Chains A and B, each alone.
Chain A
């Protein structure tokens, strides 16, 4: 097996046993990126030279006997994470020329262990999208079928794993942006509880919904990465100050005796037949493993998409105000005065979907509409949170599909934003409620596209969903399947 086909825990064992060097591993991935990325477009920036220097440094560190869990492991980051000295674009023309002057906390934590940065990954511009088609650097393609989208917004992060261009990546999840692409690309994608991982240095889309998480080949790697990035950060007031459990140790506890809820609002008539079948098989597998199933209700699910698009766009309209061409990023040329400079820079710098959402959010917050839209959305958000709190009184976790269909075709929904927005219908409520969720490979469509299942846990209940995901992974072989490239 090639080095680029392996997991963090495989590579880690070999590094520690000195059977392989970080430079060899890094080269293996760099070559893989070179040979495959023209057809996938997962990377916006490849940091080849720095990666090899960092890998050599990691090898020295290992030789000196100082080996942390991620020392020498090559990772890639969604281009939403600030990386000191490395171009950070957020897939926008607005930040095309932006060299980050500091590191995001999540990246800084991995980096301090001696992980190696391979490069920065494609995404929907400012994380706005469900398909990775809204990028100023062109769409990313699904490695399982290049006519299809990889999902979004962390499409590059999921596609890079599926294309075996990186052993692990970090993404962000605002309305499903980790879980949905992980599902479409046959990877494991974990969205931690809001506040579990620092957002410092992560370019904000919707501050009250954004959360950082790993996309990996298997559940063990997801636990390993979460362990590295989780925990309080004094630079992020919303990051929660509570101890980080040993997630990898929690994996082995199994699902026997756990009560899993099936929210009836998620198993609707219009659900794709292949997705339905994958869910049925997953439920059967869990039954065999000793879990118990009960039907639960999340009655306000129907309002989640509308609520999400009011809150997320309201926050985004404000968060993106700093991109005005004055201090950094894109600045329009030959403008007539200050107002014109700001307007032109923003007109030229932002793509259509970003503009659409800024306008939606500006409208939702404007006087006369604030109560009817933003305030009402916040009230519904509370109801959605309460739905989950109620459900978790009787079950340990919830099982749902990740997306209503497998990955759709590139261009299929670009003309119809509302259709596109509905593809996040099963992931969005999780962000509104701030709970944790994981997407695990659980099947394939008749055309060979991956299908994931979603496990949802209580706030800070990552251990429970990780152990359930791990047990499922042990009982099935979906995570071992590889896209032919």
Chain B
């Protein structure tokens, strides 16, 4: 029997607000344990939550960017369960009336697009974390308690791990474009639970699903889903049955394993939180957020095609993240040669970032510096080869491209006299190749160009070299 996997994702997006969702405490990552806490997020007796309006605004942005409708009335509910990292004994979340409903994202599958439904997006608070000590004791750190999250729940519309990853990347791209999430997956700012089941091909009844909790890298999501699909198929083929359960992915071993505990068969006893009043979202509010929405990846992609006449490949790469797109645009607008800017950003710049293991935010070369370099190439002052040297110099020591070229005497030579002299010398020393060329072997031309450039220490203007060589070799 052949099997068809069914995959749905629940993504937790940590919002980039300065303060927590129900109090004024900082959301900064990495502070001393329990430093960013107050009576509210510590759940001291008598403390009451007050909603951070910014969270609602960010949720509206996420909803609009994922084609959802926005609920005019929002109720916060309590999800009750006991766990030491959950100080109130309940998590404030949304249940009946989530802020965003019924949206979708389009992903590329091969050369087609596929629409993945978004069931809902709701606002909620994060829990704290337990710190397990060497002595067997455990501590509770509530710095993270009350950090605002959006939970984005998809329809079970994905059929392969690759589709799931494509959806996840698309969602990641959107929330980082919107500037509502810092996208730091290692710190858990963007993490997902995957619901995976398999059913016989042709069936219309979904199989029993397992939920894989808290996977926080695209690579692990793919590995976890692929493993889980294979596990479930093997289990069924061996005559076993998939049980509904929560599983954890072990990135070291590449396997998922059962996690029995608090999530199993739980009655959360949801009810509206009486400490919070309903949040009413007016049409005007939605309109205002819509107006202030930044340009989204798809729109930017199309604009790059038309405004900068870039090939689709370039536009796709350059709009993959907002920082990359912004970098490119600043550079392109300053140097007025978009294609050259695209080539440099996708080529030399990206390569240097990768080699040094740093992100674009930490890049030592600014868009203006790169634009200065491109202008020198376009003006014929330096060749592409020299430009790479200048780029390296800016990367290491900073500075302006024109100044570096002048100081180090890197400007290319267009003086025909000097180039002619070099050509004459090289032709004289290589008469054999001259004969070959004249005998119709065009390939030898490249040899002469290389020799001349070498003699000129790379500074000769390639166009002039080409012209003169052609004349002279023709005899």
Contacts and interface: CB of A to CB of B under 8 A. Distances in A.
B120 interface: no
| Main SS class of interface, A | loop
A358 to B, nearest CB: 11
A328 interface: yes
B140 interface: yes
Contacts of B46: 81-82, 100, 102, 104, 199-204
A374 B48 contact: no
Contact of A374 (B267, B271, B276, B277): B271
Given A322-B87, A322-B88, A342-B82, A102 B39 contact: yes
B140 A318 contact: no
B267 to A, nearest CB: 5
B39 to A, nearest CB: 6
B298 to A, nearest CB: 38
Contact of B80 (A98, A318, A342): A318
B275 A88 contact: no
Interface in A192-212: 199-204, 206-208
B35 interface: no
A234 interface: yes
B82 A237 contact: no
Interface stretch (A144-152, A217-225, A274-282, A360-368): A360-368
B89 A318 contact: yes
A183 B246 CA distance: 56
B45 A82 contact: yes
Contacts of A98: 45
Contact of A327 (B48, B87, B275): B87
B19 to A, nearest CB: 14
A200 B45 contact: no
Contacts of A237: 48-51, 275-277
Given A207-B275, A235-B48, A321 B84 contact: no
Interface string B30-65: 000000000100111111111100000000000000
Contact of B90 (A235, A238, A318, A366): A318
Given A207-B275, A238-B275, A318-B80, A327 B49 contact: no
A418 interface: no
B78 interface: yes
Interface in B128-166: 140
B180 to A, nearest CB: 23
Contacts of A200: 46-48
A90 B80 contact: no
B90 A326 contact: no
Nearest to B39: A102
Given A366-B267, A366-B269, A321 B80 contact: yes
Contacts of B270: 365
B154 to A, nearest CB: 25
| Main SS class of interface, B | loop
B274 interface: yes
A315 interface: yes
B216 to A, nearest CB: 25
Given A234-B50, A235-B50, A322-B43, A208 B274 contact: yes
Contacts of B275: 204, 207, 237-238
A110 to B, nearest CB: 16
Contacts of A208: 274
Interface string A287-329: 0000000000000000000000000001101101110101110
A95 B46 CA distance: 13
Contact of A326 (B78, B140, B269, B277): B140
A203 B44 CA distance: 9
A366 B267 CA distance: 7
Contacts of A82: 44-46
B43 A318 contact: no
A234 B87 CA distance: 22
Given A237-B277, A315-B274, A362-B269, A338 B48 contact: no
Q: By CB atoms of chain A within 10 A, which of B44, B45, B51 has the most?
A: B45
Contact of A321 (B48, B49, B82, B274): B82
Interface in A366-412: 366-367, 370, 374
A319 to B, nearest CB: 9
Contact of B82 (A199, A204, A324): A324
Contacts of B47: 200-201
A90 B277 CA distance: 26
Contacts of B39: 101-102, 201
A280 to B, nearest CB: 39
Interface in A120-136: none
Nearest to A233: B48
Contacts of B49: 237
A199 B89 contact: no
Contacts of A324: 82, 84, 89
A461 B42 CA distance: 36
A357 to B, nearest CB: 15
A236 interface: yes
A484 B270 CA distance: 51
A175 B274 CA distance: 16
Contacts of B45: 82, 88, 90, 95, 98, 100, 203-204, 322
Contacts of B276: 237-238
Nearest to B40: A235
Interface in B288-336: none
A269 to B, nearest CB: 36
20 contacts: A82-B45, A88-B45, A101-B44, A204-B46, A236-B48, A238-B275, A314-B271, A315-B274, A317-B269, A318-B78, A318-B90, A320-B89, A321-B82, A322-B43, A327-B43, A327-B87, A327-B140, A338-B84, A367-B267, A374-B271
Interface of B: 39, 42-51, 78, 80, 82, 84, 87-90, 140, 267, 269-271, 274-277
Rank and list the top 3 A-B pairs by shortest CB-CB distance, nearest first.
A321-B89, A208-B274, A207-B274
